[in-house]
Amino acid sequence: MSALSRRDRRALWIGALLVAPVLAWRGLAAPYAAWLDVQDARAAAAAGLLAREQALVLDRARLPAVLDEARRRLAAASPLVFRGSDTAAVTASLAGWCRDAARSAGLVDIRVEPAAATPELGRLLASHVDLYARGTMLALAAWLARMERGDRAVGIPRLDVSVDDAGLLIMHAHVRGLGAEGAP
């Protein structure tokens, strides 16, 4: 084998001097910079959490008043909620309320079937019933007005109406009401 010429050795050294910083950056400096970025993000998140916790400590004297206000608002809203000892009782309460509203509006052949109850925010749950009835347009409008302006938190996500041979409206309504388990 022949030895490298002086010119070739110099070219190799220049190439090594050019490649070495790139390899050092890719192998050492870039991973270290990424690690520092992650540590900075963690430190910022911890600082934000500390600031929120310090604000809570400073507001600790005000928290009982906020809790009392929340309790007052909940007590004011509680007549809107159907109550029962369990989920079935809450749904039965909603079904009875819907039946009474339909009867007082003048609807006839009223049938109420319970549907599934689903969890809502906190301890609240959404009870569902399907109401089937017949009646005139005025009776249906009166029932809808009672549901809309009633003293309970209800909604009608689905309403199907058709006409029978006698000219009466046949109604199927899916009614959703907010409920809570506990003492009625």
* Judgement on whether residues 33 and 85 belong to the same structural domain of the protein: no
Mean pLDDT of 132-158: 89
Number of domains into which the chain is organized: 2
Q: How many CB atoms lie within 10 A of CB 2?
A: 4
User: Is position 125 within any domain?
Assistant: yes
CA quadruple 63, 64, 69, 74: dihedral sign: positive
Q: What is the mean pLDDT of residues 45-62?
A: 89
Q: Are 120 and 152 members of one domain?
A: yes
- Convert the pLDDT of each residue in 54-90 to its tens digit: 988 888 888 888 877 777 776 665 777 777 777 888 8
Q: At what angle do helices 137-149 and 87-105 cross, to 10 degrees?
A: 130
Tell me, yes or no, whether 71 lies in a domain: no
Q: What is the pLDDT of residue 26?
A: 85
Does 140 reside within a domain?
A: yes
Query: Looking at the structure, do residues 168 and 96 belong to the same domain, yes or no?
Result: yes
Domain boundary residue among 27, 60, 93? 60
